[in-house]
Chain A
């Protein structure tokens, strides 16, 4: 498999580390235990296009949001995480 890193270009799988589903969002401070439990443990088992977190460990150390078809391994989009680079979000 090959992933097109927005910073480094097309690179092979071995440079990347997989984390998992990128859909769950970390609940804000003060969230209930149930909400945090869902965030930590509950995942959809998707057959098809799935948004995933990948880390370009062997490259620029960017966290990427990769849309990958779990049936075909086809990658339809790669976006950098919101906080990649020097600028802070909302600054």
Chain B
């Protein structure tokens, strides 16, 4: 494939691999680059200046920086399901076949019709959301907002599921280091040599930080040589790990840090079985933040013209990537560091059009260089740029004396100084402090265990970075308990910085502060005039610093301008709160593998695979999958299947997996006394071999949970909970045992997963079970009466626990076997039950039968009901203390007009009931004043051949037989129901005792 020549690539130099050419596409056009390029450097090497359109005004934009602070060069990377919007071209590693597209333009980047927004720019000023579209209100949703969203915006999400995997991992170390510049590598050397476990995170794919572009001399050798020597030494140290392509984005309590590793973002797609990104939680005793600093723009008219670039970025593209953003460059600086750009540009054979230095006292050495090379040094400021989407043509200069000058150039490098990256040190609501000599905010303290070093700490000289980094690494290792010999620190000279602050140059035209959100200097002035002077108000009113770059290049300039117009100093104006993450982190990385069917763990009952073989329909119950019903061929809907299952139980026998109930073994001489305190009824007097229904309250007197608890031995009870409360009840009982009643000699063991439990219910239940137990086991009504509980021997030698308890209202047993035999048991129930027509039933049939019997369940145990509300007041012992006893006696909880459980039947026998309907006295107009309760549970009762339900109704038990109104505004239904006894089936309980 023929690609365009790399017109702006230097013949030699740079850290690119010229033996590895790569092809890529940008906006459909094919280009070439090299291994080691970023998308931004490759575009520059191909002479591409225009890379995007701005957020509000659709202004043409070019590449401003060479790092993760980039506000302009955002692209849609990749295609299809992997399309990722707002990806920074400056940190996207080039790979063969890379496809990227510019954003926020239509129909094309060069001819963007939305650029008419610029003509309407008066309505897009600060606060326009609040002012322009106020009236009429309904127009906002219908017209204004959709229109604005179309016209203003960033990239498009893929719109389909991400096909890649993301991982989450933990790591532990003594010293964590953010950044691999001179300070970070210095810290790693000292900490590593002292024997500490070190992890160094670097967001770039190459190690060295600014050294990669700016070079320098360390220990008498060129920086590149020092870096490779240092990395070689670190590799020999046993406990130093270096993670490149990894950004430390947050710090959390207890020395826990968040990092995102871009494992395979530099490839078209991750290799098979590999993840795209990995989210790290790193636990570190100490952390050295050597995250460097971010060069800041100066705000002047036209400062967003493609070809205007940060001075350090120009050096990076030229020196690291051998790509020249410009051929004839001007420099606008207010500090010495900016002048390094001149050296780099001259070294690469570029022309210097002029240096505009805001400082009056440019050094003699610089003047001599200018004289020798033949470029003018102008004392003044850049006040405007003549150019457009094809780049810069001319620079307009306001000279210090008041005169004006013009400089012909095709590029402008800008240095307004450097802002230390204070994010990590400020994430625990730290407020950085102002440092005058560099006119920048520097960290003022940090979260426990963390310290900043080097440029991140306001030390900009190479020597200072090395010294601070090395000292911080040594100190961190020492306080983490490592005292090994740290050897000699690396040494280098310190360059002069000599900055005279300059934030904003007055001039005609839009002067951008926040490039990504299109916030201009005049927006900030407007905000101040309208009273939004506090930086937090300024931020919300203008949206300054609220884009995906979080104002990395704009925040400080913005508040400096606010300080100037409000007549305050910059430290008085202050900064907004810094919050993680340092960079946008994909939600997919936070989710990791917890998506789709792995969103949460899945618990399968012991009979699950058997039930699946039977074609059961499953329902999610918390983490469990439970068989809901077992459809048979020819059944037209769930109701038909459920009705068959209920009839089979009531007329013969059925069985159901109830292993999901919480099960707790309670052991010890005080087990009975303990249960007396946690249940409202008494268990210490329960005979061995008997089961009893128990009800627990919360300490506030409301019902907490219910279940059947059996006494298997003098000092051993077997307690069951509802499925939903299995975990919470265990936690509650442990609290009671460990905290409230430590004097009781009792132990709790969760055995929910250890026992497979099945309900076997129906008139033939006994006959069926007789096929499974040893012949010697007496299951007769006398030998094993209702509410009996004991161990039995199954044929084949397995011991089981058998309970004669009934939720269905039929003669029923629950049988428990060790969970590993659950599958065998269910298959044997099916086999042995064949002659009795044994029918498996699911949770729906279980629910139908419990409503027919008037048993309460989740919808009634809803946290707002008392024992009396449920009709269980008589269970409350008056002879003992128990959890919730005193509060249950409060006046309102014992009031006569409470809503209590009652049965309901439609007066029209053919009508379907719905839970959630409100109960209103007949003849009254529905409203909150006469709302007397609501329907909690409903079902079609095959036994009664009509819909029935349970409801919570004011004074319900006194109103049996009354016709009331069920009002269901949600479904638009209204109908009459009769209040009735909640026990619809076999009210005297003869069947379960029989």
Interface string of A74-91 (1 = CB under 8 A from B): 110000111110101111
Q: A-facing mask of B726-740, CB < 8 A → 1, else 0?
A: 010011001101111
Query: Chain B 668-705, CB within 8 Å of chain A: the 1/0 string?
Result: 00100000000000000000000000000001100000
* Residues of chain B lying within 8 A (CB to CB) of residue A55: 731, 734-735
Tell me how far the C-beta of B317 lies from the nearest C-beta in chain A, rounded to whole angstroms.
43
Whether A83 touches B742, Cβ cut-off 8 Å, given contacts A2-B283, A73-B254, is yes
Say whether B738 contacts A81, CB under 8 Å: yes
B707 within 8 A of A: no
B738 A82 Cβ-Cβ under 8 A: yes
- Cα A19 to Cα B738 in complex, Å, equals 14
Contact between chains at B889 and A63 (CB < 8 Å): no
Q: Do residues A37 and B887 form an inter-chain contact, with CB atoms below 8 A? A: yes
- A61–B737 Cα gap in the complex (Å)? 12
- Cβ B738 vs Cβ A33 within 8 A: no
B536 to chain A, nearest CB (A): 21
The one of A30, A73, A82 in contact with B739, judged by C-beta atoms closer than 8 angstroms, is: A82
Q: Using Cβ atoms and an 8 Å threshold, which residues of chain A touch B880?
A: 29
Residues of A within 8 A of B256 (CB): 1-2, 12
Q: How far apart sit A19 and B881, CA to CA, in the bound complex (Å)?
A: 23
State the CA gap A45–B815 with chains docked (Å): 49
- The digit string for B707-736, where 1 denotes a CB below 8 A from any CB of A, is 000000000000000000001001100110
* Docked-complex contact B700 and A40, CB < 8 angstroms: yes
Say whether A81 contacts B739, CB under 8 Å: yes
**B890 located at the interface, meaning its Cβ lies under 8 Å from any Cβ of chain A in the complex:** yes
In this complex, which of B281, B727, B731, B739 has the most chain A Cβ atoms within 10 angstroms of its Cβ? B739
* A75 to B, closest residue via Cβ: B254
Tell me the bound Cα distance from A55 to B889 in angstroms. Answer: 30
**B772 CB to closest chain A CB, in angstroms?**
35
**Residues of B with C-beta under 8 A to A57:** 727, 731
Q: Is A40's CB under 8 angstroms from B887's CB? A: yes
| Contact between chains at A83 and B887 (CB < 8 Å) | no
CB distance from B715 to the nearest CB of A (A): 13
Given A1-B253, A33-B889, A57-B731: A40 touches B739 (CB 8 Å cut-off): no
Give every chain B residue within 8 A of A90 (Cβ-Cβ): 743
Q: Are B734 and A61 in contact (CB under 8 A)?
A: yes
B254, B731, B738, B890: the one contacting A17 at CB < 8 Å is: B731
Q: Map CB proximity to B onto A1-15 as digits: 1 under 8 Å, 0 otherwise.
A: 110000000001100
Report whether A73 and B253 are in contact in the complex, using a CB–CB cutoff of 8 Å.
Answer: yes
- Point out the residue from B255, B700, B743 that lies within 8 Å of A88, measured CB to CB: B743
Interfacial chain B residues near A40, Cβ < 8 Å: 699-700, 887
Q: Is the CB of A19 within 8 A of B747?
A: no
* Contact (Cβ within 8 A) B744 A88: yes
- Residues on B with beta carbons closer than 8 Å to the beta carbon of A61: 730, 734
Q: A55-B734, A61-B734 are in contact. Are A83 and B747 (CB under 8 A)?
A: no
Contact in complex: B890, A33 (CB < 8 Å): yes
The distance from the CB of B855 to the nearest CB of chain A, in whole angstroms, is 29
Q: How far is the CB of B136 from chain A (nearest CB, A)?
A: 44
What's the Cα separation between A84 and B743 when bound, in Å? Answer: 11
Q: Which residue of A lies closest to B728 (CB)?
A: A17
Given contacts A2-B255, A55-B735, contact A88 B886 (CB under 8 A): no
A66 at interface (Cβ–Cβ under 8 A)? no
CB-CB under 8 A from B739, the residues of chain A are: 53, 63, 81-83
A39 to B741, CA, bound (A): 16
A29 touches B881 (CB 8 A): yes
Evaluate whether A30 and B881 lie within 8 angstroms (CB atoms) in the complex, with A63-B734, A63-B739, A88-B742 already known. Answer: yes
Closest CB in chain A relative to B739 CB, distance in Å: 5
Chain A residues near B747 (CB, 8 Å)? Answer: 86
Within 8 A of B (CB), among A31-53: 31, 33, 36-37, 39-41, 53
B128 touches A (CB below 8 Å): no
B283 touches A84 (CB 8 A): no
Task: Give bound CA distance, A17 to B739, whole Å.
Answer: 15
Q: A8 → chain B, closest Cβ, in Å?
A: 15
Across-interface contacts of A89 in B (CB, < 8 A): 742-743
**Residues of A with C-beta under 8 A to B881:** 29-30
Most chain A C-beta atoms within 10 Å of own C-beta, residue among B700, B886, B887, B889: B886
Contacts of A39 in B (CB 8 A): 699
Does B493 sit within 8 A of A, measured CB to CB?
no
**How far, in angstroms, from A75 to B738 measured CA to CA in the complex?**
21
The one of B731, B738, B741 that contacts A84, using a Cβ cutoff of 8 Å? B738
Contact B735 A19, beta carbon cutoff 8 Å: yes
- Residue from B252, B700, B738 in contact with A62 in the complex, judged by beta carbons closer than 8 Å: B738
Inter-chain CA distance A84–B886, complex, in Å, is 27
- Answer whether residue A26 sits at the interface, using C-beta atoms and an 8 A cutoff: yes
- CA of A82 to CA of B734, assembled, Å: 12
Most chain A CB within 10 A, of B283, B738, B743, is at B738
- A41 and B283 CA atoms in complex are apart in Å by 37
Q: When A82-B739, A83-B739 are in contact, do A1 and B252 touch as well, CB less than 8 Å? A: yes
Q: Which residue of B lies closest to A29 (CB)?
A: B881
Tell me, yes or no, whether B775 is within 8 Å of chain A by CB. no
Q: Report the separation of the CA atoms of residues A37 and B886 in the bound assembly, to the nearest whole angstrom.
A: 9
User: For residue B735, which residues in chain A have a CB less than 8 angstroms away from its CB?
Assistant: 19, 53, 55, 63
Q: In the complex, what residues of B have CB within 8 A of residue A62's CB?
A: 738
A27 CB to nearest B CB, Å: 8
Q: Given A30-B881, A83-B739, A36–B887 Cβ distance below 8 Å?
A: yes
Q: Inside 8 A of A84's CB, which chain B residues have their CB?
A: 738
A83 x B890 contact (CB < 8 A)? no
Residue of A nearest to B741 (CB): A83
Does B17 make an interface contact (CB < 8 A)?
no
Chain B residues with Cβ under 8 A from A12's Cβ? 256, 281, 283
A-B contact pairs, 27 of them (CB 8 A): A2-B256, A12-B256, A12-B283, A19-B735, A29-B880, A29-B881, A31-B886, A33-B886, A39-B699, A40-B887, A53-B735, A53-B739, A61-B734, A63-B735, A63-B738, A73-B254, A75-B254, A80-B738, A81-B739, A81-B742, A82-B742, A83-B739, A83-B742, A88-B742, A88-B743, A88-B745, A89-B743
- Apart from the given pairs A12-B256, A33-B889, A88-B670, 11 other A-B contacts in the complex at a CB distance below 8 Å: A40-B699, A40-B887, A41-B700, A53-B735, A53-B739, A55-B735, A63-B739, A88-B742, A88-B745, A89-B743, A90-B743
- B contact residues vs A (CB 8 Å cutoff): 252-256, 281, 283, 448, 670, 699-700, 727, 730-731, 734-735, 737-745, 747, 880-881, 886-887, 889-890
What 10 pairs between A and B have smallest CB-CB spacing?
A83-B742, A29-B881, A2-B254, A89-B742, A82-B742, A83-B738, A1-B253, A36-B886, A81-B738, A73-B253
